[in-house]
Amino acid sequence: MMYGGSGTQSRRDLAIEYQAQIPTLRPSIHARRANMTVKFQDLYGFTVEGNVDDVNVLNEVREKVRQQGKVWWALEAEKGANWYLEGHISTTLKSSLKISSLVNAITLKKLIRGGIPPNLRPRVWFSLSGAAKKKSTVPESYYNDLTSAVEDKVTSATKQIDHDLPRTFPGHPWLDTPEGHAALRRVLVGYSFRDSDVGYCQGLNYVAALLLLVMKTEEEAFWMLAVLLENVLVNDCYTNNLSGCHVEQRVFKDLLTKKCPRIAAHLEALDFDVSLVCTEWFLCLFSKSLPSETTLRVWDVLFYEGAKVLFNVALAIFKINEEKLLMAHQVGDVINIIQRSTHHLFDPDELLTVAFDQIGFMTTTTISKQRKKQEPAVMAELDQRIRRLNSNSNDK
């Protein structure tokens, strides 16, 4: 099995072959009879615990992935290797109104929501997200020059990165090794110098780590992180005061009231703050909460449709657990219900069906308006917090 790194032959190439095979998990007869908890490795090397029912769900999902892969490969054979670029809706609507182009765009959206095959994911992400275009605007040696120039520099960001490296998916067979730590450090430190406003924020380590496992090279993982922070996600989400993240939490709370009013009313009666679970979702993009194969299905859609997808998925998690949540009597009960659910959401189709079919359509424009509405209150709150801190320090 392979993971991250330099793009040389070795574990990375072996893993691509492994991902393409998408193995069927086979618990022992004893485990099946007793419905015991079993441990197994997922496609990206993470050790997962679940009962036999969870394994059965995951095997069904993997069979769907195999079938989905056949569709993608058939389209490649018919239309060429980069057929999906012709169906990219952002360019299609601007440059052409041909029915065939619009059909391609609708087909592509449906296909991406159904999942990009693991062995095609690096290429499709890199093209559709805008990462390839972003990389093309700088010299070929940009990443190597950047990482070499900042290798020995020490900043508050590099100190925090070094502190977080061993805590990023501990126990993973590649990430939690000197080679994995070094690759992750280069990506994070490099980006902290590329964008000093962001620098480094806890949460990015998990995002960058998962990108390293998916992309073919370390450099491609860097450019995926760049396009994510600079084009896909909301501004200021990872800056020092996390103002963008605070805005997202307020927007989500409003959406929960509109889309899931019974849940919202019950949680308010319990005095439950949704940020207790949602902050991690928005900062880590579900990489710490959902199984990796489910997280990457969310990211398939995120890189194509944009950050509004995060709201659909977050709302879906609450919606899936509606009946259980309405029975909860304590804040701790709510947290336990949500965490148990997310850790065992092995069926991305279940999650995404609720996210898009039950939660309903939300446009980027609608989300943007909600953000603008919430920004003044967030900035006032952060300003008040700074004043309190300054006042307390002056009193000492």
Residues 83-98, buried b or exposed e (16+ Cβ, 10 A)? bbbbbbbeebeeeeee
Say if CB 221 and CB 187 are below 8 A apart.
yes
> What architecture does CATH give domain 130-232?
Orthogonal Bundle (1.10)
DSSP 352-384: HHIIIIIS----HHHHHHHHHHHHHHHHHHHHH
Class of domain 233-395: mainly alpha
Residues 121-153, buried b or exposed e (16+ Cβ, 10 A)? bbbbbbbbbbbbebbeeeeeebbeebbeebeee
Residue that the structure tokens 């239309």 belong to = 79
- Look up residue 261 and give its two tokens: 């009013």
C-alpha–C-alpha distance, residues 9 and 22, integer Å:
20
In tens digits, what is the pLDDT along the chain, a chain of 396 residues? 445 544 444 444 443 444 446 777 665 555 555 567 888 888 899 988 888 888 888 888 888 888 888 888 888 888 888 888 875 544 433 344 454 565 677 788 999 999 999 999 999 999 999 999 999 999 999 999 999 999 999 999 999 999 999 999 999 999 999 999 999 999 999 999 999 888 899 899 999 999 999 998 999 999 999 999 999 987 777 877 777 788 889 999 999 999 999 999 999 999 999 999 999 999 999 999 999 999 999 999 999 999 999 999 999 999 999 999 999 999 999 999 999 999 999 999 999 999 999 998 888 888 888 888 888 888 888 778 777 766 666 665
C-alpha–C-alpha distance, residues 43 and 38, integer Å:
16
C-alpha–C-alpha distance, residues 23 and 25, integer Å:
6
Where is 26: in which H helix or E strand? Answer: none
Q: Residues of CATH 1.10.472.80 domain(s) within the chain?
A: 233-395
- Look up residue 308 and give its two tokens: 């509004």
- pTM of the predicted structure, to 2 decimals: 0.87
- The answer to whether the Cα torsion of 28, 349, 352, 224 is positive or negative is positive
